[in-house]
Chains A and B, each alone.
Chain A
Amino acid sequence: MINGMWKVAPTSVARGAARRRTEAELQRGRGNFAWCRVKWNLGCILLAVVVFAGGAAAQTVTLNGAGATFPFPLYSKWSQVYAEEKGVQINYQSIGSGGGIRQFIARTVDFGASDGPMTDEQIAQAGGRVLHIPMVAGAVVPVYNLPGVGQGLNFTPDVLADIFLGRITKWNDPRLSRLNPKANLPGTDIVVVHRSDGSGTTAIWVNYLSKVSPMWKARVGEGTSVNWPTGLGGRGNEGVAGLVRQTPNTLGYVELAYALTNKMTFGSVRNKAGQFVRPTLSSTTKAMDGALRSIPDDYRIFFTNPDGKDAYPVAGFTWILINAEQADAIKGKALVEFLWWAIHDGQKYAPTLLYAPLPKSLVTRVERTLKSVTSRGQAILQ
């Protein structure tokens, strides 16, 4: 009796049914025939499911990818369109850039996605040649939820760093109110919201903070996940945006697309040239342009604190990570063709979702990179 309670729900219920059965069967002797039938039928159904499952595998190509949440709105759009146009399913799970890199190394996915580049150590772990294929560029913006305060608070690099270091704790701190004389800043605590998962958005954000604040660089450093001095953690860009939207007095950072599609309030950041720049599609493109000439062959670069009068200072590429040598020829071909589509036809979906498309000159470079992808030593694209 007591033992039954370990499962709370099932036992008492099932026990009753058994008793009922017991009594009924007592009179009728045996009614097992019907039960055998039922069991047999169940068996058939299960078998059918398994057989069906095996059979369906051959028909469509599915590419599994995981990683960055930053480009998720774009990738999910691509995934939808590409499945309709080419019949190839791109199953992309936005688990964070850290996760994308990790699962790519563990080869549990066909491609990884990240907006923080892999370190040399990680590339060595992955084995073979790893390609970072840039897809689009995006901006990371400070979003806030302050009742009574509208769009466009001004932030300077040092103020942002000090807020995220926990050194500025009130919204009406003099250093903040001096930047925003017109805003009616409340005397409440600033609730910092950051990512709880490994994130390329974080990587871009802390890369920027490290560039502008020596103290940040010394105390916290860079990476896809860091040891945050203060704040709340949200999972993914989605999680941070959700937390900020639902909690008053918060300040977080998300990709520009998340801020705009969710109608969130976000601030301007002072760039290297001393201008307060509002994050937009064009100021992100300017940031990329500022860095265009210095983009290395492996495309591993952030557009943080770039030159240029109108450049928004916190931006970066988002990459898809692939192996230069594809073990599976069919999947490899499907993957490279998808990437080819993404850097050409796919780019037209970028501006509507507020990602900066790749400039022409860069597309030509990426084309060459894609052509270098091989399967069993043979180039996949002729």
Chain B
Amino acid sequence: MAVNVVGAARSSVRATGDRVFQLLLASMAAGIPLIMGLMLVALVAAARPAIERFGVGFLSGSTWDPVAGEFGVLPFIYGTLVSSALALLISVPLGIGTAVFLSELAPGWLRSPVRFLVELLAAIPSVVYGLWGIFVLVPWVRTVLTPALKGTLGFLPLFTGPPLGIGMLTAGLILSVMVVPFIVAVSTEVMRAVPRSQREAALALGATTWETTRKAVIPYARSGIVGAIFLALARALGETMAVTMVIGNVPQIKASLLAPAYTVSAVIANEFAEATQDLYVAALVYAGLALFLVTVIVNILARVLVFRVARGPGLIRE
């Protein structure tokens, strides 16, 4: 009897201890959704004057005139989208090529060091990319790349205007270097997740390594690779410092890739600390809010796509 009572008391103490501990941990885990929620609330609150004043038209307005108090972010959105698209145009083929090399072709001893080097590329701070951009990439684009492009493709409206070195193209180039590690890492990962049976089946049918990769591995991993691209896109959309330093900071929509442009994140970085009227500040926060929502959506898409591939093989294996 007495023993039982002690035992019960101890187990209830233990249960209370566990309960308290679980609550503590849970409150910490809940921290992150709370922060995210708080972020949304804080941004919406700070952006409210602009939201009320401009509504959705803010996104399609093309005048950014702090003097007149007129704010439309279309040129910035254009700059963000085009520079990111350029970055993907360059980094997607290179990234997937590298992922194929890493997951299908590279000998074992090479895999790990190369992957590590790619990871280092992601670890270099954005401001260092910007510094390198200003002093190395910009002069190179001005003196080598631009004349070459104008000489060969100058008839296209894409490559007109004076050779500045600063502009959309340079921003796209630097962004492509910055996002390629994400494509490589995630693509390699999803390709590695393709079940061995897929490859073996193809090889058994007499396919070469390359054919196996193209016909069996890549189609299988496709949605995961798309996810990787989305992930890279989210990075490119939000990248700030390196872009600010090389894009020229002019809110305009020009067909030429050699012309300077501006991005949403760059305008926030440049103008936030000095926006003079409340409406101006609110407009910048509103732009930040739009950027926030877009990157969240792109990230969610990326995650869903990658998740699908990650789950897929598991089911088939069993």
Direct contact of A and B (CB under 8 A): yes
What residues of chain A have their CB less than 8 Å away from a CB belonging to chain B?
1-6, 8-9, 12, 66, 95-103, 105, 122, 188-189, 191, 196-198, 221-228, 231-235, 243, 246-247, 249
Report B-chain residues with C-beta under 8 Å of the C-beta of A1.
189, 193, 310
Q: Report how far A224 CA is from B276 CA in the complex, Å.
A: 9
CB-based contact A227/B63 at 8 Å = yes
- Of the candidates A189, A198, A222, A243, the one whose C-beta lies within 8 Å of that of B276 is A198
Cβ-neighbour of B249 out of A5, A96, A198, A233 (below 8 A): A233
Name which of B15-23, B38-46, B65-73, B199-207 contacts chain A: B65-73
- Report the separation of the CA atoms of residues A311 and B231 in the bound assembly, to the nearest whole angstrom: 59
- Distance between A145 CB and nearest chain B CB, rounded to angstroms: 12
Q: Which of B147-155, B210-218, B266-274, B290-298 contacts A (4 or more CB under 8 A)?
A: B266-274
Cβ-closest chain A residue relative to B303 = A6
Min distance, Cβ A239 to any Cβ of chain B, angstroms: 9
Interface pair B275/A198, CB less than 8 Å apart: yes
Contacting pair A98 B276 (CB below 8 A)? yes
Contact A243 B270 (CB under 8 A): no
Q: Which among A6, A8, A224 has the greatest number of chain B C-beta atoms within 10 A? A: A8
Question: Which one of B115, B189, B249 contacts A235 once the chains associate, using CB atoms below 8 Å?
Answer: B249
**Contact between A231 and B161, CB atoms less than 8 A apart:** no
- List chain A residues, Cβ under 8 A from B64: 227
Chain A residue contacts of B270, Cβ below 8 A: 196-197, 233, 235
Contact of B231 among A6, A122, A196, A231 (CB under 8 A): A6
- Cβ–Cβ contact B274 & A232, under 8 A: no
Of residues 260 through 318 on chain B, the ones whose CB sits less than 8 Å from some CB of chain A are 260, 262, 270-271, 273-276, 281, 303, 306-307, 309-310
Can you name 19 A-B residue pairings with CB atoms under 8 Å?
Answer: A6-B186, A6-B231, A9-B119, A96-B274, A97-B274, A99-B274, A101-B276, A102-B276, A189-B162, A196-B249, A197-B270, A223-B66, A223-B67, A224-B274, A225-B66, A232-B248, A233-B270, A235-B244, A235-B249
The secondary-structure label for the interface of chain B is helix
CB of B122 within 8 A of CB of A8, answer yes
Question: Which of A66, A96, A247 has its CB near the most chain B CB atoms (within 10 A)?
Answer: A247
Residue of B nearest to A119 (CB): B276
* Shortest Cβ distance from residue B88 to the other chain A in the assembled complex, whole angstroms: 17
Closest to B281 in A: A102
* A227 in contact with B166 given A2-B306, A2-B310, A95-B274 (CB within 8 Å): no
Counting chain B CB atoms within 10 Å of each CB, which of A2, A9, A96 scores highest?
A2
- Evaluate contact between A246 and B138: CB separation under 8 angstroms: yes
Is A243 a contact partner of B162 (Cβ separation < 8 A)?
A: no
Check if A188 sits within 8 Å of B310, measured CB to CB: no
Are B307 and A231 in touch, CB under 8 angstroms?
no
Q: Is the CB of A197 within 8 A of B122?
A: no
Q: Give Cα distance in the complex from A9 to B244, angstroms.
A: 25
Residue B185 at the A interface, CB < 8 A?
Answer: yes
Does the CB pair A2–B193 fall under 8 Å?
yes
CB-defined contacts of A191 to chain B, threshold 8 Å: 162, 164
Residues of B contacting A9 with CB < 8 Å?
119-120, 122-123
Of the residues B166, B181, B260, B307, contact of A8 by C-beta under 8 Å: B181
Known: A2-B307, A227-B65. A198 touches B162 (CB 8 A): no
> Can you name the residue of chain B whose Cβ is closest to the Cβ of A226?
B67
CB-based contact A2/B189 at 8 Å? yes
Residues in B whose Cβ lies below 8 Å from that of A223: 66-67
Q: Is B260 within 8 A of A232, CB to CB? A: yes
When C-beta atoms are compared, the residue in chain A nearest to B227 turns out to be A2
Cβ of B139 within 8 Å of any chain A Cβ, yes or no, is: yes
Chain B residues with CB below 8 A from A249, complex form: 162
Whether B74 is near chain A, meaning CB under 8 Å from some CB there, is no
Of the candidates A3, A105, A188, A197, the one whose C-beta lies within 8 Å of that of B271 is A197
Does any Cβ of A come within 8 Å of B182's Cβ?
yes
Measured CA separation A98–B182 after assembly (Å): 38
Q: Does B250 contact A (CB under 8 A)?
A: yes
- Are B250 and A233 in touch, CB under 8 angstroms? yes
B262 / chain A contacts, CB cutoff of 8 Å: 233
How many Å lie between the Cα of A4 and that of B310 in the bound state? 12
Q: A2-B193, A235-B249 are in contact. Are A221 and B119 (CB under 8 A)?
A: no
In the assembled complex, the Cα of A198 lies from the Cα of B280 at a distance in Å of: 11
Contact A8 B66, CB 8 Å, known A99-B273, A102-B276, A189-B162: no
Collect the chain B residues with CB atoms within 8 Å of residue A188's CB: 162
